[in-house]
Amino acid sequence: MHSHPLRSEGVIFGAEYNPEQWDLATQSQDIPLMVEAGITMVTLGTFAWGALETDDGVYDFKWLRRVMDRLHAAGISVCLATPTACPPMWLYHAHPEMAMTNRTGVRLGQGSRQNWCPSSPAYSRYALRLVGRLAEEFGDHPALAIWHVGNEMGCHNTFCFCERSAADFRQWLRERYGTIDRLNHAWGTAFWGQYFRDFDHIDPPRETTTLQNSAHRLDFARFSSDRQIALYDAERDILKSIAPDVPVTTNFMVTEHISSIDYGSFAEHVDLVANDHYLIADDAQSWRELAFCADRTRGLSDNRPWLLMEHSTSAVNWQPRNIAKTPGEMRRNTLAHIARGADGVMFFQWRQSAFGAEKYHSAVVPHAGTETRIWDEAVALGASVARLAEVRGTTADTAQVAIVFDYEAWWATQLDGHPTVDFSYSTEMRSIHSALLDRGIAVDVVPPKADLSKYSAVVVAGLYMMSQELADKIVDAVERGTHLLVTYFSGIVDSDDHVWLGGYPGALRETLGVRVEEFTPLRAGESVRMQVTDRHPGVAEDELTGSVWAERLRNTTAESLAVYSDPALDGAPAITVRDAVGPTGGSAWYISTHLAPPSLAAVVGEFCRVARIRPAARVRGSHVEVIRRRGDDRSYLFAINHSPKEAFVDAAGTDLLTGEAFTGRIPLRPGDVRVIREATA
């Protein structure tokens, strides 16, 4: 097992604490309440630049020291944020050019947060000066457990289009391409006569007339993500130079709807991967998205323990309809993150703000105080998390299945001029993840650099852009025995967004044994039907349906598992299987449409049977997650029942949450969670 980056003990139960919003009388109640709730770590200082540097070079660290001393005395450790997300108003006044400029050339105004250009020299100069002062003041404070750089870097300010950003972008392009000819080739500027003579002639992809050069936009996305990582590195280097032993991280936003930063690259720069996750309230089964994001976060941390830096006790306030969590939901969410590898779970925020933009966002201490359901559930949850101390440091059980997830491929799907607006990369991946989740199968969602050959099965879902290197790696794994499942619109273009010619999916065509000659996307709401052939009698359904997409494909070396039955594609292959790729290879499966959930469940079920993929435990019931964490000499089975019905899990051991011992069939009440220390590891 790897050494643990966090100095604190047990599984962390924490919250972001913003005492600067409260008078001293209220603050004096906070720490006793934290102790009552079992809080073991708080994040401090996230938005406190203005309170710590009240004017240019005028610092006030006294209040923060007082709070840290008191927390330390109460045994609560501190995740200290560098407050660089929100520069103070005096700094904007002195450097108005520091504000963000959007795509249309408008410089953004006051009143919100993170409104600074990532390439602004003034911002960096002041931010790094403050980081240095903060590290000198608190780098050796006994409460300090970890630094937290900025906040959700790039959440609101990834893409700035000002002249300073343009200059930085040109420099980045010079370093990437060396010569303008190379750039012209990569960007395909022969199309629409866009040839550049000099790097100095290039602008960021500002608002324009119609479809925009996709490679130009893609490189701006890469540049903008790199800028955020560079800003992190600059702060980290100062923190390390002053307090070398304190780990450094920042909170990622691994979620379904935020794609702007390449966390696959960013993860290599942090000592501990930390994530913020909020439920999509519109989604009645949002626990599925949580599971997918937690598996992605674990993939980013290479299966080492990670930290959930923020989630909510109940509703947020930034979605169209902010639905309150139901009783027990916060507990299930918390334990689901821990099940999937988190060694700590924290809330935004400790006390619900009385004013400001987020006053209707839930917190541990709600507006109504401590005689509330939220408070009672938080206190009970703190006690439950404390009982899981021995789980700390174990890792999720070795998964047999990997889904490859790539941020650059995600960006590429968002570019102009694609076959349909209905294609969604995250939906494709989540559909397969969900189908596996329903079978109780552990999945690693991994970046392209991961070692794929250790998995029994690899899934490539809607991975539109694929480098030669990744394609080679996938093919190599399959030739050595890994089973491959690929869904439509994968492996279509290379890293420059140039199409792999000769029939789609160019990067994997030979391995799959198919050749797609034409995309035939569907109208909104339209569906296609498919008939299952008799090749795989184990497929649970005879007729399958799909939506969004279809295509005209031919089998070269594969055979059809299902054929289209609609008139336009009548009898053409829809789902194909190549039984073995080479003498020792695995099978290669291809799905050419977006399958409806029951159809996907049937195909994934058959794929798992062929690939011999087994669930973490046998479950009787539906909407139940089962996932295992394992240490050198012990293992823990987490079982989470999201349904209103009782379920049963076949396992033996002791429930850490209740102390009950079971010898085989474990009952799981509606909405309940069990964490079983298994009898045999």
Q: Which residues of this chain interact with ligand GAL, rule CB under 6 A?
A: 151-152, 155, 276, 278, 310, 316, 348, 358, 361
For tokens 């109940």, name the residue: 314
38: left (phi over 0), alpha (psi -120 to 50) or beta: left
- Residues 384, 371: Cα–Cα separation, whole Å: 20
Helix H or strand E encompassing 251: strand 251-252
Q: Are 673 and 387 in contact (CB under 8 A)?
A: no
Cα angle, residue 263 at apex, residues 276 and 303 outer, rounded to 5°: 80
Strands 483-487, 457-460: parallel, antiparallel or unpaired by DSSP?
Answer: parallel
User: What is the smallest separation between the CB atom of 275 and ligand GAL, expressed in angstroms?
Assistant: 11
> In the complex, what is the shortest distance from the CB of residue 553 to ligand GAL, in angstroms, rounded to a whole number?
42
Catalytic residue of the set 289, 310, 329, 551: 310
CB of 45 to ligand GAL, least distance (A): 12
CA dihedral (535, 539, 545, 551) positive or negative:
negative
- Residue closer to ligand GAL, measured from CB, 253 or 401: 253
Q: In terms of CB distance, is 278 or 455 closer to ligand GAL?
A: 278
CA atoms of 540 and 416, how far apart (whole Å):
39
Name the token pair of 477. 């794994």
C-alpha–C-alpha distance, residues 553 and 535, integer Å: 18
Smallest distance, Å, CB 155 to ligand GAL?
Answer: 6
Closer residue to ligand GAL in complex, CB, 276/377: 276
How many Cβ atoms sit within 10 Å of the Cβ of residue 361? 20
- Residue 620: helix, strand or coil by DSSP? strand
Place of tokens 């069939």: 665
Give the active site residue among 152, 235, 256, 408. 152
Least separation in angstroms between CB 349 and ligand GAL: 7
SS3 230: helix
Where on the phi/psi map is residue 497: left (φ > 0), alpha (ψ -120 to 50), or beta? left
Which of residues 22 and 199 has its CB atom nearest to ligand GAL in the complex? Answer: 22
CA distance 285 to 288: 6
- Report the candidate in 284, 282, 281 with the shortest Cα–Cα distance to residue 311: 281
* Nearest alpha-carbon partner for 46 in 18, 24, 65: 18
Give residue 287's identity as a one-letter amino acid code: W
- Min dist. Cβ of residue 243 to ligand GAL (A): 23
CA angle 53–55–58, rounded 5-degree value = 60
Closest CA to 226 of 67, 408, 416: 408
CA distance 363 to 372: 12
Secondary structure string (H, E, C) spanning 515-550: EEEEECCCCCCCEEEEEECCCCCCCCCCEEEEECCC
Q: Which stretch of DSSP H or E encloses residue 17?
A: strand 12-17
Nearest to ligand GAL of 218, 346 (CB atom)? 346
Please identify, using beta-carbon distances, which residue of 359 and 523 lies nearer to ligand GAL: 359
Spatial separation of the C-alpha atoms in residues 207 and 210, rounded to whole Å = 9
> Measured from the CB of residue 101, what is the shortest distance to ligand GAL in angstroms?
23
152 assigned to active site = yes
Closest CA to 512 of 486, 473, 534: 486
Q: Which residues pair with 649 in a beta bridge?
A: 619, 666
Helix (H, G, I), strand (E, B) or coil at 200: helix
Cβ atoms of residues 546 and 575 within 8 Å: no
Burial class (CB in 10 A: 0-12, 13-18, 19+), 234: middle
Q: How far apart are CA 357 and CA 155, in angstroms?
A: 16
d(CA 581, CA 222): 35
Residue 256 among the catalytic residues:
no
Minimum gap (Å) between residue 389 Cβ and ligand GAL: 27
Residue 426 beta carbon to ligand GAL: minimum distance, rounded to whole angstroms: 18
Residue with Cβ nearer ligand GAL (152 or 444): 152
Q: Least distance in Å: CB of 360 to ligand GAL?
A: 11
Closest CB to ligand GAL among residues 155, 381: 155
How many whole angstroms separate alpha carbon 392 and alpha carbon 523? 49
Closest separation between CB of residue 116 and ligand GAL, Å?
A: 16
CB of 316 to ligand GAL, least distance (A): 4
Q: Using alpha carbons only, what angle is made at residue 236 by residues 99 and 143, rounded to the nearest 5 degrees?
A: 110
CB-nearer residue toward ligand GAL: 314 or 641: 314
Is the Cβ–Cβ distance between 49 and 88 less than 8 Å? yes
Residue among 187 and 348 whose Cβ is closer to ligand GAL: 348
Contact by Cβ (8 Å): 611, 588: no
Catalytic positions, written as ranges: 152, 310
